[in-house]
Amino acid sequence: MPVAATRDATTSTTPPGTLIDFRDVAMRFPNGTVALSGVDITVRRGEFVTVVGPSGCGKSTLLRIASGLETASDGTVTVNTDRIGYVFQDATLLAWRDVRRNVELLAELNGMSRAGRRQKAQAAIELVGLEGFEKHMPKQLSGGMRMRTSLARSLTLDPELFLFDEPFGALDEITRERLNDELIRLFVEQGFAGMFITHSVSEAVYLSTKVVVMSGRPGHIVRTIDVPLPMPRDPDIRYTPEFAALVGEVSHALREGHR
Ligand SMILES: Nc1ncnc2c1ncn2[C@@H]1O[C@H](COP(=O)(O)OP(=O)(O)OP(=O)(O)O)[C@@H](O)[C@H]1O
């Protein structure tokens, strides 16, 4: 049963289908750094929302607020689900556990039975294409495989909302494009909504139903651009004029916010 966790004293009502809603969110750290100012972002069921912006504009802070690791100093954050998955730039695998036992970790921490988590982990391992690697240790995996393991670990919780903090930033271009395709397939098949952070404009356009462009610090929203391309995406869509026009639009907005 989803819960509404309004991370603010104010009670907020959000339209049906809203999984997370940031309203006029600001973040001032105790040392005086203002990372965010007046940020409004809504992620609804069926949406994949990517946030792009210059380094230090507060993108990771937004996800930390979404996950409850930080509390916004102003504004309202409404979270209408308790099934949230996280994937960060570092796969954060336990070096002494093999792939299967890493994937089982969250289910184990949530108290799922041994048989239940074994079954969940196996299904997630198959979803991310890691069958045959269950007994591999993290140090035997490529960067892409480590990310797949991290993704599988969160999939065991059947997330309704998935938060991604630049998960593919450290991967080579080919692996990154392949994982983008697999992520879209999972988004379509599993039906979670996504909030994704990246520095790559083409990755943002390729993955998203909506791209939010932020300014330099303190980060505020410069523009929100809808991506009306069909899902799942055909990899060759990257070479179409429609795709190029959207990339141009996002890049323009980024430059505008960087002045
Ligand atoms: N706990 C903290 N205390 C003080 N300042 C912080 C804290 N956490 C982050 N900051 C500052 O807030 C700003 C936003 O940081 P954040 O990591 O959210 O940016 P970002 O947009 O994700 O950056 P990047 O793209 O480089 O990862 C930065 O200037 C950072 O130094």
In a domain, 43, yes or no: yes
Is the CB–ligand 1 distance for residue 71 below 6 Å?
A: no
Mean pLDDT of the chain: 90
Give the domain-ending residue among 133, 158, 183: 158
210-243 tens-digit pLDDT: 999 999 888 999 999 999 999 999 999 999 999 9
Q: Could you tell me if 243 and 172 lie in one domain?
A: yes
Least confident range of 18-22, 41-45, 165-169, 245-249 = 165-169
Question: To 5 degrees, how large is the angle CA 251–CA 85–CA 48?
Answer: 35
Is the CB–ligand 1 distance for residue 38 below 6 Å?
A: no
Q: Could you tell me if 36 and 104 lie in one domain?
A: no
In a domain, 88, yes or no: no
Is the CB–ligand 1 distance for residue 33 below 6 Å?
A: yes
Is the CB–ligand 1 distance for residue 35 below 6 Å?
A: yes
**SS3 readout for 177-191:** HHHHHHHHHHHHHHC
Q: Could you tell me if 129 and 186 lie in one domain?
A: no
pTM for the whole structure = 0.91
Q: Could you tell me if 48 and 153 lie in one domain?
A: no
In a domain, 175, yes or no: yes
In a domain, 243, yes or no: yes
181 vs 227: CA distance, rounded Å: 16
Q: Could you tell me if 72 and 99 lie in one domain?
A: no
Enclosing domain of residue 234: 5-83+160-257
Tokens representing 104 are 């089982």
Q: Could you tell me if 189 and 236 lie in one domain?
A: yes
| Spatial CA neighbour of 127 closest among 159, 89, 155 | 155
User: Which of 59, 65, 166, 200 for mutating ligand 1's site (highest number of atoms within 8 Å of CB)?
Assistant: 59
Q: Could you tell me if 118 and 22 lie in one domain?
A: no
**SS3 readout for the chain:** CCCCEECCCCCCCCCCCEEEEEEEEEEECCCCCEEEEEEEEEEECCCEEEEECCCCCCHHHHHHHHCCCCCCCEEEEEECCCCEEEEECCCCCCCCCCHHHHHCHHHHHCCCCHHHHHHHHHHHHHHCCCCCCCCCCHHHCCHHHHHHHHHHHHHCCCCCEEEEECCCCCCCHHHHHHHHHHHHHHHHHHCCEEEEECCCHHHHHHHCCEEEEECCCCECEEEEEECCCCCCCCHHHHHCHHHHHHHHHHHHHHHHHCC
Residue 207: alpha-carbon gap to chain centroid: 11
| Spatial CA neighbour of 249 closest among 198, 21, 257 | 257
Q: Could you tell me if 31 and 9 lie in one domain?
A: yes
Q: Could you tell me if 167 and 252 lie in one domain?
A: yes
In a domain, 58, yes or no: yes
In a domain, 60, yes or no: yes
Is the CB–ligand 1 distance for residue 57 below 6 Å?
A: yes
Is the CB–ligand 1 distance for residue 52 below 6 Å?
A: no
Let me know: does 222 contact 256? Beta carbons within 8 Å: yes
As a whole number, mean pLDDT of residues 123-142 equals 93
- pLDDT band with cut points at 50, 70 and 90 for residue 3: very low
In a domain, 89, yes or no: no
State residue 127's pLDDT score.
87
The CATH number assigned to the domain holding 237 equals 3.40.50.300
Q: Could you tell me if 164 and 249 lie in one domain?
A: yes
In a domain, 13, yes or no: yes
Is the CB–ligand 1 distance for residue 56 below 6 Å?
A: yes
- pLDDT band with cut points at 50, 70 and 90 for residue 110: confident
Of the chain, the percentage scoring pLDDT greater than 70 comes to: 95
Q: Count the domains in the chain.
A: 2
Residue 58: alpha-carbon gap to chain centroid: 15
State residue 170's pLDDT score.
84
Nearest CA to ligand 1 atom 23: 56
State yes or no: pLDDT of 154 exceeds 80: yes
Q: Tokens 């952070």 — which residue?
A: 197
Nearest CA to ligand 1 atom 2: 29
In this prediction the ipTM stands at 0.96
Q: Could you tell me if 130 and 103 lie in one domain?
A: yes
- pLDDT band with cut points at 50, 70 and 90 for residue 257: confident
Is the CB–ligand 1 distance for residue 29 below 6 Å?
A: yes
Ligand 1 atom with minimal separation from the 62 CA:
18
State residue 137's pLDDT score.
96
Is the CB–ligand 1 distance for residue 60 below 6 Å?
A: yes
Nearest CA to ligand 1 atom 17: 60
| Spatial CA neighbour of 39 closest among 54, 55, 57 | 57
178-208 tens-digit pLDDT: 889 989 998 999 899 999 999 999 999 999 9
Least confident range of 33-37, 88-92, 197-201 = 88-92
State residue 9's pLDDT score.
37
